[in-house]
A and B are shown apart, each in its own frame.
Chain A
Amino acid sequence: AQKVTQAQTEISVVEKEDVTLDCVYETRDTTYYLFWYKQPPSGELVFLIRRNSFDEQNEISGRYSWNFQKSTSSFNFTITASQVVDSAVYFCALSATRNNNAGNMLTFGGGTRLMVKP
């Protein structure tokens, strides 16, 4: 069974602060993908990043960075110099291949609501 845990249900920061969103996962698969999605108040789920289980290199994209550590089964997401527009719910997800020809299944964490105050 797969599980994704986002222990922080809500985080509130002031604009320009750095913030890290934690994600811990459980899986027995040796090959898997990890994802982060952003859900702004409009409700649409926006894809941010995909990470292969064999690639532990950290990634930076503008103000966003991701730290993947297989040893601790964590895939944390940091926003540097946060902005009000970053306010959203962020979901970490884990993908596993199923053998029944039903494609990859995404298991989502509970989400972290980030509120960035001006």
Chain B
Amino acid sequence: SAVISQKPSRDICQRGTSLTIQCQVDSQVTMMFWYRQQPGQSLTLIATANQGSEATYESGFVIDKFPISRPNLTFSTLTVSNMSPEDSSIYLCSVDRTSTDTQYFGPGTRLTVL
């Protein structure tokens, strides 16, 4: 399985600010995914990031609120913009090794917005 790291591991932010979360993979992958897990809830897909093209967002998520970059095959960032307390969640990135059709997840970023 791929080794996936995320930075920061956790953060406490003020309302109205933005936070950029980084996801780094130790090997080249085609697809990278960003999920949100609100407190006590399941995971919801925010968007899919394919290198060289615009990210594909799921219903309920928009680029202005969650801009994503995918500059190369091993790295992606997710920005949570103009944060409110409702954005307090764990944000996880995952990668899809197409040869196995299995998504492996990073350790997550635990975000608290005050």
Within 8 A of A (CB), among B41-83: 41-45, 48, 50, 56
Quote the shortest CB–CB distance from B34 to chain A (angstroms): 12
Within 8 A of A (CB), among B77-114: 90, 92, 94, 96, 98, 100-108, 110
A106: chain B residues at CB < 8 Å are 33, 43, 45, 94, 103
B42: chain A residues at CB < 8 Å are 91, 108-111
CA distance A35 to B100 in the complex (A): 12
CA distance A47 to B45 in the complex (A): 17
Interface assignment of A103: CB less than 8 Å from any CB of chain B: yes
Known: A45-B105, A50-B101. A100 touches B1 (CB 8 A): no
Interface assignment of A43: CB less than 8 Å from any CB of chain B: yes
Interface residues, chain B, with chain A CB atoms under 8 Å away: 1, 30-31, 33, 41-45, 48, 50, 56, 90, 92, 94, 96, 98, 100-108, 110
Interface residues, chain A, with chain B CB atoms under 8 Å away: 33, 35, 37, 42-47, 50, 91, 95, 100-106, 108-111
